[in-house]
Structure 1
Amino acid sequence: MPRFDNTFNRLRESFPWRRKKEVDTLPSEDLKEEKGVGDGSSATCLENEEKKEEDESDVSSLKSKPPTPSKTDPSMPRFDNTFNRLRESFPWRRKKEVDTLPSEDLKEEKGLGDGSSATCLENEEKKEEDESDVSSLKSKPPTPSKTDPSMPRFDNTFNRLRESIRWRRKKEVDTLPSEDLKEEKGVGDGSSATCLENEEKKEDEESDVSSLKSKPPTPSKTDPSMPRFDNTFNRLRESFPWRRKKEVDTLPSEDLKEEKVTPTFEEYLEIQAFCEATQQLIDREKHLFWETAEANKEAVEKLAADHKALEERVWQTLQQSLSLSSEEASVSALKSAVKAINLEEEQDQLWKQRSQTPPAWRPSEWKKRHDEVLQKLVNGRMDNPSSPTGDQVNQSSIQADIQSMDRQLKDDLQWVVEKVKNCYPPEMDICNFYARQYHQTFKARLRKIVGSVDDEDCSFLLRWVKESYPEILEKPELTSNINTEALGNLLPDELLKPLEEKYLSNQQSDLMIYIDRVLDEAKKEWDQGKEPTRDDGCYASAVAYDVIQFINDIVTSAQKIVRDPHKAQKITSNLTDFMQRYKEFHEDVIKQNKPHSKAFIKANLSCVKQFKDFLVKHDLFLEDVQKNCLPVLTEMKQSAHTYLLTPVHKVLKPHYQKVGTNDWLKKNTFEKLLNSTEEELQQLQGSSQSSYQELIGQLYQEVAEEYVRRLLKGEVKLKDSNQQQKAYETVKENAEKLHELFAEMGSKQDWLKEILTKIAEVLKLQDTPAIQMQIVSLGSAYPDLSEKHISALLKLKANLSKADKKTIKTTVLDILKESHTNAETRAFFSKVEVVGS
């Protein structure tokens, strides 16, 4: 039955609440009337007595709960009068309206009688008043029923309820208010037939009312002191006879749901419900071939025609897989088509398990046909890509075709992952299926063109196969759905290796052409007498920058394309030849010694430094290339240093000649050497900072070497300890000032100061063992200290006997031989030539 909780809530709110005094005085005459107490028969009294006990238990259970507040005005009239007016408002329907009811069951429920005209007049007068009351209830929307979903909506139910209340007889109206409730409960002078009818209705209604009783009433939100009238409502609910199912089914209400009708096969096709259409055909097929002794020929032919029509629609839908519209219907159609294919596959498997002769369309093999349709779809899209090609003005036909297919591939795989994947079950692995189809399509096309590509197309093709294609598949949204490793290579090794060799050979030739052009441009500027440009005060040459850029770009790109660093390194195998030509140009500049030669050499020093760092720090070269190029660069640096420093030593030579003489020991002649050196250092500036540091470091070492050579020449004889002390102080002071000068100019050669200091310590010491230990310390740090150097150093100490000098020298040499290591050390004394000893 329809729920009317909302209606009841509004009715409850319209019933004024009982005062506590009235509740306490129960049973009053009002409650008697509500309970149907009157002049009925003993049977009726007995029935009322039984209901009274039941009602009292209901009232007690309801009283235990807090009263439901009323939502109306607390000053409204007493409950009795309102309730009586409601009761009196129900029997106002004319006898004529009652007589025209279409059902005899409804007549019995309405209790139709032979009321007088006075009653009809009274009902007519009350009708106008009731209509206004009822309209206020109708103004609120009915609460949807939560019970049987097939029952009619509230509005129609409410109308039928109103009509069912219009059945009061004149006699019943005249006897109000004592006998109304009797009649509601079926008490009165009715015949046994009426009692039987009431008994039948009671059984029907009890089951319907029980579902409503199971839910607690909605509490009122107004005055909490009002008495509960839930019991009264329960009696009201029981007084409204619910329609029997037969009556509901025969009611002409538009709200009643029509019986669901299964669409036909043609209707399923029209709405693209291919799965449902397939299931319908399978059911028909099972009935014709499995459930009947002999299939009807016409039915079989009709089934075959329907099966063919369905198949055509499914393939049409599959052919639109990569061009689905954004509408939900398009996606839904593809989902349904995929489900239909799987249903057909299941039916094929069931037929294989049966011994009967299958129909002509079995096995249908829709899964195989599905793969063929999609393969054809992919081939068609690769033959006629929809994506517009790029700038094809400077592209060959092969390059344009590959680029167009490249774009189509990217768009289609993205679409498969975003849209098509959701239309397939996971076990069909549709993303990998499409990836394999595109992979095979590209593979077949590349095989046809690989033998006819020129040098330019060869580079483009290899770059796409080895670089562009993997980049497409390595996109995050694709890698999570496609197993790229399982796809394999687009080209087999027998086709790929010749392409790679051709490509590497072309890259090697291109590299040598580019770097030779760079060197030719530098020579041209030299011949024209142009001085190199300056960058932050330093002379700069573009040779190293341009050559390094070309090497880096070409070899790095080749590594990505051939995916083999060793093969890519072969591109630089001719770099040694370039370095030799560069060295020849460098030496030619030095040899000609033009006014701008120093500027070119300073710029070349920067280039040599860049080339050396590039060769050592990057893995773009074969090992033999590194070994052959680095010595060439070292020779270029040394020749540049010699060219730039030779004029400096020529200026400093007069000052060198004063070192190790009596004037050097008595007068401060070393200051002149320092001043001249400082002036020359200024003239050496012009190369890059790192190259300049190496240059002045070389000058620092050569000045120190010349200083020691002049000292060990032995022009001064230190006859006593005082002179030796004076020599110690002079050498130490010279070492500190020389180091300070070069350090200010940026030199990092601290070890040169240490050599001069150790020599000064030997001059100061007087104890033989101490002298031995100091010389051993010097020889350990610089293993190129020879016997001649030791003899020349001891010769300066004139107060040592020949025996002491021999002992010291023998001991030191023995110790140095035993402590000799292969550790890398700096060379110094080997460049200090000692004449005699």
Structure 2
Amino acid sequence: MKKFKRLFDTSHFARTTIIEEVGNKVTTRKDLKPQKADPSGKSSKRSTTKKYNLLTACFSVPSHNMISNSEEHLDSTDDIMDILEINGHLWHSITLLREKDIKELIEQQRYFKADQHLIKLEYERYTNDVANDESTKKEEKDINSLYELLSAEIFNVVKESFNISKEHPNVLKMAVQVKIQEEKADQTYLEEKEKSGNVPEFRPRQWDAKWLSILQHSVNERISEPLSGSEDNKTDWLTQCLVQLRSQLKADFDTIVNCINPCYPEEYNICVKYAECYCKTVSSHISLLAESGLKGKEVYPLLYWINKCYPDIMIAVIPSEDTRQQLLNTLLPEKTINHLKNEYFSVLRSDARMCMIKSLHIEEENWRSGKEPLVLNDCYHSELPIDIIQIIEGAVQDARALTCELGDQALNIMLEETNYFLKSFQVSAENFEKSHLNHPNFIPVVISIINSCESIRNHSTNEKITNLVLKESILSVLNEMEKKKKDIILKTLFCKLKPHCKKLVTEKWLECTEPIDEILEITEKHLTKLKKLKAPHYQDLLMEIHQQLITEYILRIMKKKLSCKTENQEKQVADQIQNETQHLQKLFNFYGPEDTVFESALLKIAEIIRLKDVDAIIVEVAALFRDFPDIGKFWQSDPAKNLYRN
């Protein structure tokens, strides 16, 4: 059997720590590195003697009389963590022990020393050219038995890491050092295999794979199976399971970070390794919950736990967001995640639609009740838009609490449901208008509907809404509803005004002020109600009413119901037009500062009526058409003849 030709270079030694017990005190010596060979052969005898004495003390086997209990000698001798390297700095200082002595070290929980002696004993047996007789086989069997005993002890320590790291952290540290020491020995044998092509059958011993297996096994035991629950209240059962799981993980991760992690070298990344183990176990646990037949709202607690709770807990063991996300992506299969999302969005949509329609039914009852709508901030108020906005915002916020992506999906669904609701709202409003035209509060109800549209519009034009197609669809319905409601208000008003408008610019009109008085009174009552319309709809409607009144007035002038036979009559007509125009202006200025272009047109017409020269009249009428082109559509014949006395 070939001997190793390449041995570990002593310059590869890690920084070591030697703890030497003096009485009840422990003194720490750091950075004891192997001395380089002195070419002259004149190395310090004092230093060599001192170092030899330390090593002898470290690796000697204490007698049973010197040990009172296992805890005492762990603290006194086995804190030493000099990693043994074959033919390295410590190699020749270790006296080869017999199998029974090594076994005694294992039984005394002096695992690190036992492993060092086992490595040397194994190496000596392997490198000695001896016959493959019964004696050799027995020695190899004894060594393997000792390794089995040692590994059983070490892996039991690993399995019980959560308790041992709190009560006896040195024991876990020692177990970790044994693993590191064994991995170095494995590496040595593998390097020799590359050169000689030969390696003993028992190497490598693959402690790392076994170690990870034990970690996984210990984690599996800590995460219990989900509690059994009834079908009657699955949401409470699911919540209880998830709360219990969260509590267990939080406690375990705290122990890993504060107790277990300090027992491992930093480069080992034990927190990440534990996190990987927990992800596998949690994945299995969550899969059972996901496959338990969750329906509708029942899936939300699970989605919240997966997307919010678990990532927040994992921050303790994996600060890196990228690494954390990679593990989270393996928690559940994509198919399962999609099923949960679809189930969640399905109930989100149906609940939103049901709640919106319920709010609309309540609003319809308020319309038919005969009561005047509520007034808030001097405007007619309805709770309907508040309900709709709260339904939308609540659904989006709940989804966004899971992830931003789910929040965006929920927003699109809510916009679709808002669009569906508005069409129902539009039909309900039209049905009310058809059947309740004589309702005592018909106009206030119509105004409250316009105000509701404005509130929904303000929410739907929010800059956060990026789906332009849905936004435009919603705004289209709102625009149509608002226009129709304004038309109803105008139609209702002018149906009352029309009989009095017909009396303008007639023979009787010159004799009394009744027509304009009635017009002003009716309009003022109407404007009083309109003041409870939200801006800018109030200003728009006020301007439109004023414009339509002036238009109606001009139309009456063009109808030629009055013939002026004298200059006095012309002056009287002009003065009355001017006077009534000023009354209209005063009324509309009181209810709003907005003027219409037709107001000054009436005054211009009054001035034209006062003119005596036909050519001057023609010039001024041309100027009137230029300044007010809309008046041309009312002109039926020669403009001069329409304004000139017959």
Q: Decide: shared fold, TM above 0.5.
A: yes
Alpha-carbon distance, 1:655 to partner: 5.9
Specify the SS of the correspondent of 2:205: coil
> Which amino acid in 2 is paired with 1:270?
L
Counterparts of 1:411 and 1:468, CA distance in 2 = 18
Alpha-carbon distance, 1:489 to partner: 4.9
Of residues 429, 437, 443, the one that matches 2:269 is: 429
Judge conservation of contact 1:566–1:622 (CA < 8 Å) in 2: no
Alpha-carbon distance, 1:347 to partner: 1.3
Match of 2:120 in 1: 286
CA distance 1:583–1:372, shift in 2 (3 Å) = same
Judge conservation of contact 1:315–1:370 (CA < 8 Å) in 2: yes
CA distance 1:726–1:422, shift in 2 (3 Å) = farther
Match of 1:270 in 2: 74
TM-score, normalised via structure 2 length? 0.64
Of residues 404, 407, 413, the one that matches 2:244 is: 404
Judge conservation of contact 1:399–1:457 (CA < 8 Å) in 2: no
Moved more, 673-682 or 339-348: 673-682
> Does 2:514 correspond to 1:637?
no
Counterparts of 1:741 and 1:471, CA distance in 2 = 66
Judge conservation of contact 1:548–1:614 (CA < 8 Å) in 2: yes
> Does 2:583 correspond to 1:583?
no
- 1:396-455: CA deviations, max 9, x gaps? 544433443234334434554455444433433333333332323233344445444231
Counterparts of 2:582 and 2:642, CA distance in 1 = 23
* Structure (1 or 2) with the larger CA radius of gyration: 1
CA distance 1:278–1:471, shift in 2 (3 Å) = closer
Of residues 589, 599, 602, the one that matches 1:756 is: 599
Counterparts of 2:392 and 2:319, CA distance in 1 = 33
CA RMSD of aligned residues (A): 5.2
Of residues 449, 453, 472, the one that matches 2:312 is: 472
Judge conservation of contact 2:272–2:317 (CA < 8 Å) in 1: no
Counterparts of 2:331 and 2:324, CA distance in 1 = 12
Specify the SS of the correspondent of 1:483: helix
> Does 2:180 correspond to 1:342?
yes
> Does 2:466 correspond to 1:612?
no
Alpha-carbon distance, 1:349 to partner: 0.5
CA distance 1:398–1:541, shift in 2 (3 Å) = same
- 1:116-151: CA deviations, max 9, x gaps? xxxxxxxxxxxxxxxxxxxxxxxxxxxxxxxxxxxx
Counterparts of 1:733 and 1:323, CA distance in 2 = 100
Match of 1:569 in 2: 412
Judge conservation of contact 1:728–1:761 (CA < 8 Å) in 2: no
Alpha-carbon distance, 1:594 to partner: 3.0
Alpha-carbon distance, 1:566 to partner: 4.9
- 1:663-691: CA deviations, max 9, x gaps? 98999996875565334422445555666
Counterparts of 1:408 and 1:493, CA distance in 2 = 26
Q: Residues 89-238 of structure 1 correspond to what in structure 2 (within 5 A)? A: none
Match of 2:323 in 1: 483
Alpha-carbon distance, 1:514 to partner: 1.8
Match of 1:40 in 2: none
Of residues 510, 515, 522, the one that matches 2:363 is: 522
> Does 2:151 correspond to 1:311?
yes
Counterparts of 1:777 and 1:284, CA distance in 2 = 112
TM-score, normalised via structure 1 length? 0.51
- 1:163-191: CA deviations, max 9, x gaps? xxxxxxxxxxxxxxxxxxxxxxxxxxxxx
Alpha-carbon distance, 1:352 to partner: 1.3
Of residues 365, 368, 371, the one that matches 2:206 is: 365
> Does 2:355 correspond to 1:542?
no
CA distance 1:358–1:503, shift in 2 (3 Å) = same
Alpha-carbon distance, 1:546 to partner: 1.6
Judge conservation of contact 1:285–1:303 (CA < 8 Å) in 2: no
Alpha-carbon distance, 1:344 to partner: 1.7
> Which amino acid in 2 is paired with 1:546?
D
Among all aligned residue pairs of Structure 1 and Structure 2, give the percentage whose two residues are the same amino acid: 20
CA distance 1:741–1:586, shift in 2 (3 Å) = same
> Does 2:545 correspond to 1:699?
yes
Counterparts of 1:512 and 1:641, CA distance in 2 = 28
Judge conservation of contact 2:574–2:606 (CA < 8 Å) in 1: yes
Q: Residues 378-777 of structure 1 correspond to what in structure 2 (within 5 A)? A: 378-383=219-224, 395=235, 397-456=237-296, 459-460=299-300, 463-464=303-304, 467-469=307-309, 471-472=311-312, 478-480=318-320, 483-487=323-327, 488-525=329-366, 532-535=373-376, 538-558=379-399, 563=405, 565-566=408-409, 569-570=412-413, 573=416, 575-590=418-433, 591-592=435-436, 593-617=438-462, 626=471, 629-646=474-491, 648-650=493-495, 652-653=497-498, 656-657=501-502, 673-674=519-520, 677-686=523-532, 692=538, 695-711=541-557, 713=559, 738=584, 741-742=587-588, 744-745=590-591, 747=592, 750=594, 752-757=595-600, 775=625
> Does 2:215 correspond to 1:374?
yes
CA distance 1:613–1:313, shift in 2 (3 Å) = same
Counterparts of 1:265 and 1:638, CA distance in 2 = 100
Counterparts of 1:287 and 1:474, CA distance in 2 = 44
- 1:228-277: CA deviations, max 9, x gaps? xxxxxxxxxxxxxxxxx9xxxxxxxxxxx999932656879834648455
Counterparts of 1:586 and 1:398, CA distance in 2 = 44
Structure 2: runs of 5+ lacking an equivalent? 1-45, 47-52, 63-69, 83-110, 609-615
> Which amino acid in 1 is paired with 2:282?
F
Judge conservation of contact 2:112–2:177 (CA < 8 Å) in 1: no
Counterparts of 2:218 and 2:582, CA distance in 1 = 86
CA distance 1:445–1:644, shift in 2 (3 Å) = same
Alpha-carbon distance, 1:468 to partner: 2.7
Q: Residues 742-821 of structure 1 correspond to what in structure 2 (within 5 A)? A: 742=588, 744-745=590-591, 747=592, 750=594, 752-757=595-600, 775=625, 778=628, 785=630, 788-789=633-634, 794-795=639-640
CA distance 1:561–1:519, shift in 2 (3 Å) = same
> Which amino acid in 2 is paired with 1:496?
I
Counterparts of 2:344 and 2:445, CA distance in 1 = 37
Counterparts of 1:462 and 1:469, CA distance in 2 = 10
Counterparts of 1:450 and 1:711, CA distance in 2 = 79
Match of 2:106 in 1: none
Alpha-carbon distance, 1:384 to partner: 5.9
Match of 1:232 in 2: none
Match of 2:27 in 1: none
Moved more, 375-384 or 724-733: 724-733
> Which amino acid in 2 is paired with 1:343?
Q
Counterparts of 1:278 and 1:796, CA distance in 2 = 123
> Which amino acid in 2 is paired with 1:412?
D
Counterparts of 1:520 and 1:346, CA distance in 2 = 78
Q: Residues 314-325 of structure 1 correspond to what in structure 2 (within 5 A)? A: 314-322=154-162
Counterparts of 1:663 and 1:689, CA distance in 2 = 40
Specify the SS of the correspondent of 2:331: coil
CA distance 1:427–1:384, shift in 2 (3 Å) = same
Counterparts of 2:310 and 2:637, CA distance in 1 = 72
Counterparts of 2:259 and 2:321, CA distance in 1 = 13
How many residues align? The count is 531
Specify the SS of the correspondent of 1:383: coil
Match of 1:261 in 2: 57
Judge conservation of contact 1:555–1:620 (CA < 8 Å) in 2: no
Match of 2:34 in 1: none
